[in-house]
Structure formats: structure tokens, C-alpha cells
């Protein structure tokens, strides 16, 4: 937990402050690994915005959009939204996809 202790050691963790309102940032250690890194699998609402990565990944593995949707366990229309319409991707779906693509290493 050394890394987190170092981050939380900053004197001023204030993000925003007004006369009647103060927003302070502190890392929740419940979502960390024993080594002090973020464990993204413990963040259920974590979403990622694709910036062309999914299309490049699909091309690299020579897969169709339908095949990638099947690997990610989502409907084809959801995959299209991720790849073309700048929809955010739930981390758990990206995790599922990455684990399945390991079997297809190119």
C-alpha cells in the first residue's frame, strides 16, 4: 500500500472548494490489489471510451464485427456502437474479450 499512502499523504487533497462546499479526493483502498495498484475488476461501473482500438484489434485478429461481438458476449448492434458511435465499453466486457483473444494470439 506504499503507493497509495504516498498519494494520500498530500497535504491538500481538495479538488474544489467554495464557501459552503468542499470536494476532497482520497483513494478508496478497497479497490486495490495487495501491491497497491487499482483492481479494475472491483470497479463495477468502470467504462472505457474506445478511440479506434477495437477496430485495430479486430483487424489484427482478422475477425469480423459479428465474431468480435460473439467473443465479447454482446449483441452485434452493441459492438457497432462501441466501434463506430463512440459508446463507452464496460470494463468487464473488455476483460472477457481480452481473455478470449489470448487463445488467438497472432
| 56 and 100 inside one domain | yes
Pair 71, 97 in one domain: yes
Whether the full predicted model's pTM is greater than 0.75, yes or no, is: no
Count the domains in the chain: 2
User: For residues 96 and 70, what is the distance between their CA atoms, to the nearest angstrom?
Assistant: 11
Return the closest-CA partner of residue 90 out of 105, 74, 67, 103: 74
Say if residue 55's pLDDT is above 70: yes
Residues 6-52: pLDDT tens digits?
555 554 566 566 767 767 666 677 778 888 787 877 777 888 887 88
Same domain as 55, residue 17: no
Q: What is the span of the domain harbouring residue 27?
A: 2-39
Q: How far is CA 43 from CA 30, 61, 78, in A?
A: 10, 28, 21
Amino acid at each position: 500500500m506504499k503507493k497509495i499512502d504516498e498519494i494520500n499523504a498530500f497535504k491538500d487533497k481538495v479538488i474544489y472548494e467554495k464557501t459552503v462546499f468542499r470536494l476532497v479526493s482520497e483513494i478508496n483502498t478497497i479497490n486495490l490489489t495487495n501491491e497497491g495498484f487499482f483492481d479494475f475488476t472491483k470497479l463495477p461501473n468502470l467504462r472505457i471510451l474506445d478511440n479506434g482500438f477495437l477496430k485495430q484489434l479486430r483487424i489484427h485478429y482478422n475477425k469480423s464485427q459479428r465474431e468480435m461481438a460473439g467473443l465479447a458476449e454482446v449483441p452485434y448492434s452493441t459492438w457497432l456502437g462501441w466501434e463506430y458511435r463512440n459508446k463507452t465499453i464496460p470494463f468487464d466486457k473488455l476483460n472477457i474479450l481480452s481473455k478470449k483473444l489470448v487463445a488467438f494470439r497472432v
